[in-house]
Structure 1
Amino acid sequence: MAELDTSGGGKKGGGKVRSKKASTRVDLTAMVDLAFLLITFFMLTTTLAKPQAMDLAMPDKDEKIKDQKPVPASRTMTVLLGSKDKLEYFVGEPGKVPPTATDYGKNGIRKALLDNYQRVKQQSGGKEMIVIIKPSDKSNYKNMVDILDELKIANLQIYAIGDILPNEIDLLKRDGLY
């Protein structure tokens, strides 16, 4: 609130008549209260950005796999994550089919996933393609997230994350991606 101080100051009595000087003093208590109320209101009513996460279900290590049926190698596409944001993929068994080196993105692994998906679906009589992701020691976390994003964009539902084999590491070394 604004207060107006009208006290004259000085002595009373005779002498020169001076005009009284009015001093003003603004009380900011109400404004500070309002500021804290507004801060509290906005803190309680705003929502913080929630992180977006993809659900990934991993099987238990102790669980025995009893009902597992063998899958033909012609239906599997193996993706080997290498270094320098590069990867290799092949459809079939390692050693029998030469791997193809590519990168992440629309014209790289996404195009390969979509093309191989269509080819496998035609050859297998409408059955889905299975993608096996095998990260190497030289790949980083970003590469794993990128390949999972590409699988989601390509709408491939069946994929697995596995351990890379020594002969697959040799393939990466041969092409300079390890």
Structure 2
Amino acid sequence: MAELNASPSNAGGKHKRKKMSTRVDLTAMVDLAFLLITFFIMTTTLAKSKAMDLTMPVKGPEQGEVSDKRTLTIVLGKDNKAMYFLGLLKKPIIAPTIAGFSASGIRKVIIETSKKVREDTGKPMIVLIKPGDKSQYSSLVSTLDEMAITGIQQYAIVDIEPADAAALAQKGI
């Protein structure tokens, strides 16, 4: 706490005013500060990471080929644009078309195509995501978000093929 010390009196006979020196003990305040810091560290919730679970296939025996009628390919280009087509690029069921990342863009395409594939084949649609050389990471994240939003269970991130890159260049993205 605080302590007052009186200076020794003068023996010369003059009466001077007593000067008091003060000394403040800050031990209790330091203890309190450390207790508060400890309390806030222990009770504060740290920022939780925002991560999406992505399951990669295990290497093993080949599973066999998937029908082209079930495969929607999304090729990511520059300026947050994507090109999509159903089937093979050489002879597509749905011609290569450009779409953006909005509710009326790629999401609508995925929902409508998924319904069409289920009606035609009776099996769920498979989506191949191919990031282009000039695509941004945010486009890939947006595409993965669309897979989660639309409920697509089977999708894969694969390398872009030269024919797909040429189609992107032809479309200007």
For 1:158, the equivalent position in structure 2 comes to 154
How far is the alpha carbon of 1:21 from its aligned partner? Answer: 4.7
For 1:11, the equivalent position in structure 2 comes to 10
Size of the aligned set, in residue pairs, is 171
CA deviations 1:49-70 (Å, max 9, x no partner) are 2312222222345x331x42x3
Letter in 2 for 1:162: V
CA deviations 1:55-108 (Å, max 9, x no partner) are 2222345x331x42x332122111001112111001122132321101112221
Query: Equivalents in 2 of 1:139, 1:19: separation in Å?
Result: 83
Letter in 1 for 2:121: S
CA deviations 1:115-144 (Å, max 9, x no partner) are 11122222223x211111111222232221
Query: Equivalents in 2 of 1:56, 1:96: separation in Å?
Result: 31
Query: Equivalents in 2 of 1:55, 1:75: separation in Å?
Result: 24
Secondary structure of the structure 2 residue equivalent to 1:99: strand
- What residue ranges of structure 2 are gaps of 5+ in the alignment? none
Letter in 2 for 1:48: L
Is 2:27 aligned against 1:32? no
For 2:48, the equivalent position in structure 1 comes to 50
Q: TM-score, normalised by structure 1?
A: 0.84
Query: Equivalents in 2 of 1:75, 1:148: separation in Å?
Result: 18
Query: Equivalents in 1 of 2:153, 2:88: separation in Å?
Result: 21
Is 2:33 aligned against 1:2? no
> Which of residues 89, 96, 101 in structure 2 aligns to 1:94?
89
For 1:82, the equivalent position in structure 2 comes to 77
How far is the alpha carbon of 1:10 from its aligned partner? Answer: 4.2
Query: Equivalents in 2 of 1:130, 1:172: separation in Å?
Result: 21
Query: Equivalents in 1 of 2:54, 2:7: separation in Å?
Result: 79
- What residue ranges of structure 1 are gaps of 5+ in the alignment? none
Asked if the contact 1:103–1:109 (Cα under 8 Å) also holds between the matched residues in 2, the reply is yes
Q: TM-score, normalised by structure 2?
A: 0.86
Query: Equivalents in 1 of 2:19, 2:102: separation in Å?
Result: 77
CA RMSD of aligned residues (A): 2.1
7-16 vs 104-113, which moves further = 7-16
Is 2:111 aligned against 1:120? no
Asked if the contact 1:105–1:150 (Cα under 8 Å) also holds between the matched residues in 2, the reply is no
Letter in 2 for 1:11: N
Greater strand proportion:
2
Is 2:173 aligned against 1:174? no
Query: Equivalents in 1 of 2:138, 2:46: separation in Å?
Result: 24
